[in-house]
């Protein structure tokens, strides 16, 4: 299960199928150096994405 405390790169390493979800929400952080350190919650805030909806879609994509 994906949580808001996981880093973006950790999510993508474990679950590469989540990439389209990140793209839909405008989180292109996976392509930058900070992805190794940026938690999902922070990335969602910076990109003004709805964290609850993002988490729901990410978790659906891995089930």
pLDDT in tens, 2-12: 999 999 999 99
CA distance 53 to 33: 25
When pLDDT is averaged across residues 29-57 and rounded to a whole number, the result is 88
Report whether pLDDT(63) > 80. yes
Residue 15: band (very low, low, confident or very high) from pLDDT cuts 50, 70, 90: very high
Domain carrying residue 35: 8-61
Task: Output the pTM of the full model.
Answer: 0.88
CA distance 4 to 28: 17
Report whether pLDDT(16) > 90. yes
The verdict on residue 24 lying in a domain is: yes
**Predicted local confidence at residue 38, as pLDDT:** 86
The verdict on residue 3 lying in a domain is: no
Total structural domains within the chain? 1
The verdict on residue 2 lying in a domain is: no
The verdict on residue 13 lying in a domain is: yes
């Amino acid at each position: 299960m994906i949580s808001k405390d996981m880093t973006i790169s950790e999510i993508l390493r474990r679950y590469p199928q989540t990439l389209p979800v990140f793209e839909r929400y405008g989180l292109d952080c996976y392509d930058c150096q900070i992805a190794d350190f940026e938690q999902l919650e922070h990335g969602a805030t910076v990109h003004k994405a709805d964290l609850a909806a993002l988490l729901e879609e990410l978790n659906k994509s891995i089930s």
